[in-house]
């Protein structure tokens, strides 16, 4: 039996501090278009649009876009959802895939502002980002066309104009989390469309400079703050036939999404059985049973017994009296702040009292 399957039931009994999720919309910090110009002489940093894909003339466009996540989302938060949105304002192509790839170099938006539909860009000015430059004229991409990771974080099929398209995936969530945790490495995304055959895959999107606020790109983030995951030990187990104290421990911490979290048993009777008892907390003063101690709060432990939630078991120990009980923690925000205490009991004919009790553990689900 898995402890995690009981966590929601425990939440109704435990004294919990449940954290709420917060959703915010982060405005664009900067965006620009990289025009495939080997001289780095064409730019569009402050226009109303940005472009990605290949034009009917066979010229590549790539968009760069960044968000200042750390000024909107509190440090230490856990990102649970993230969606990038951009409105396609013009196209001559049918549906094509547009991908987001993490930029690995910083860049400057720049002042260049083309006229009209902006597809051809304009002459690069001081401070512009271009196909060659991160900041014209003296700072350069390591590779012409932008420095970015090879794999895409998310891909969306973009079709007709006048539609807001969204990009969301575990990769997008991971990118946003990394930008929150390491803001100095937040350089944003590069948007790429198909750059080989066929021609005419380019799409135009409204930029942060659009006069219509509703049309500007955005990043919607849902994040979680609250109790950090923890495990604390109370007391020590009593010694049985193994010659050592029955001991409860853990592998990792009960953090949301930690599929590898486990409760471990050590130094029990060889090939014996153990039961795991639960309570909302440990007791202020342990209750002795011969050479052993009950560390659980007796009132809440009794309530779990009556409800049938406790004990968990019997759980089979191996030839050295050990067991690792897997407790994969779901990425469920309602678990944050759930606290309960556990203690193991094993019948042991070689122990003075005919049984052994472990130390107590207090387990707190968190982030």
Among candidate residues 204, 182, 20, 25, the one with its CA nearest the CA of residue 106: 182
Residue 365: partners with Cβ closer than 8 Å, 6 or more residues away: 7, 227, 229, 254, 255, 256, 329, 335, 336, 337, 338, 339
Read off φ and ψ for residue 341, nearest 5 degrees.
-110, 150
Residue 335 has a pLDDT of 86
CA pair distance 64, 45, nearest whole angstrom: 10
Contact 51, 175 (CB under 8 A): no
Contact in structure between 223 and 233 (CB atoms under 8 Å): no
- Give the residue range(s) of CATH 2.60.120 domains in the chain: 21-224
* 21-224 CATH: 2.60.120
**In this predicted model, what pLDDT tens digit does every residue of 259-270 receive, in sequence order?**
999 999 999 999
> Cα dist. 129→38, 44, 267, 291 in Å?
13, 8, 64, 74
How high is the pLDDT of residue 163? 98
Token pair recorded at residue 44? 């569009």
* pTM score: 0.68
The CA R_g of the chain, rounded to the nearest whole Å, is 29
pLDDT of residue 18 exceeding 60, the answer is no
Percent of the chain with pLDDT over 90: 85
Tokens of 111: 């002042």
Q: Is the pLDDT of residue 7 over 50?
A: no
Compute the half-sphere exposure of residue 245: CA atoms within 13 Å on the CB side of its CA. Answer: 14
Q: Is residue 204's pLDDT more than 90?
A: yes
Distance CA 4, CA 332 (A): 11
Average pLDDT over residues 291-298: 96
């Amino acid at each position: 039996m898995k402890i995690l399957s009981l966590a929601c039931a425990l939440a109704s009994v435990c004294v919990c501090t449940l954290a709420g999720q917060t959703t915010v919309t982060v405005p664009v910090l900067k965006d620009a278009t990289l025009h495939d110009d080997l001289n780095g002489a064409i730019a569009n940093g402050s226009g109303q649009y940005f472009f990605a894909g290949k034009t009917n003339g066979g010229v590549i466009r790539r968009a760069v876009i960044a968000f200042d996540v750390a000024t909107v989302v509190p440090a230490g938060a856990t990102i649970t959802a993230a969606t990038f949105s951009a409105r396609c304002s013009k196209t001559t192509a049918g549906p094509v895939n547009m991908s987001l790839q993490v930029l690995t170099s910083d860049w400057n938006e720049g002042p260049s502002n083309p006229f009209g539909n902006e597809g051809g860009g304009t002459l690069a000015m001081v401070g512009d980002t271009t196909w060659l430059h991160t900041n014209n004229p003296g700072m350069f991409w390591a590779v012409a066309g932008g420095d970015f990771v090879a794999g895409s974080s998310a891909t969306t099929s973009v079709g007709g104009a006048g539609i807001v398209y969204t990009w969301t995936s575990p990769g997008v969530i991971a990118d946003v989390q990394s930008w929150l945790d390491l803001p100095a490495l937040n350089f944003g995304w590069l948007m790429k469309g198909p750059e080989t055959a066929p021609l005419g895959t380019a799409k135009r999107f409204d930029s942060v400079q659009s006069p219509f606020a509703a049309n500007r790109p955005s990043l919607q983030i849902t994040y979680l703050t609250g109790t950090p995951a923890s495990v604390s030990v109370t007391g020590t187990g009593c010694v049985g036939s193994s010659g050592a104290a029955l001991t409860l421990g853990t592998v990792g911490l009960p953090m949301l999404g930690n599929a590898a979290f486990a409760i471990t048993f050590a130094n029990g009777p060889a090939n014996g059985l153990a039961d795991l008892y639960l309570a909302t907390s440990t007791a202020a003063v342990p209750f002795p049973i011969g050479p052993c101690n009950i560390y659980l709060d007796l009132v809440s432990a009794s309530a779990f017994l009556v409800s049938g939630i406790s004990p968990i078991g019997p759980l089979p120990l191996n030839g050295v009296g050990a067991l690792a009980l897997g407790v994969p923690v779901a990425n469920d925000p309602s678990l944050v702040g759930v606290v309960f205490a556990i203690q193991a009991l094993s019948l042991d004919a070689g122990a003075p009292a005919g049984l052994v009790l472990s130390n107590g553990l207090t387990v707190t689900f968190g982030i």
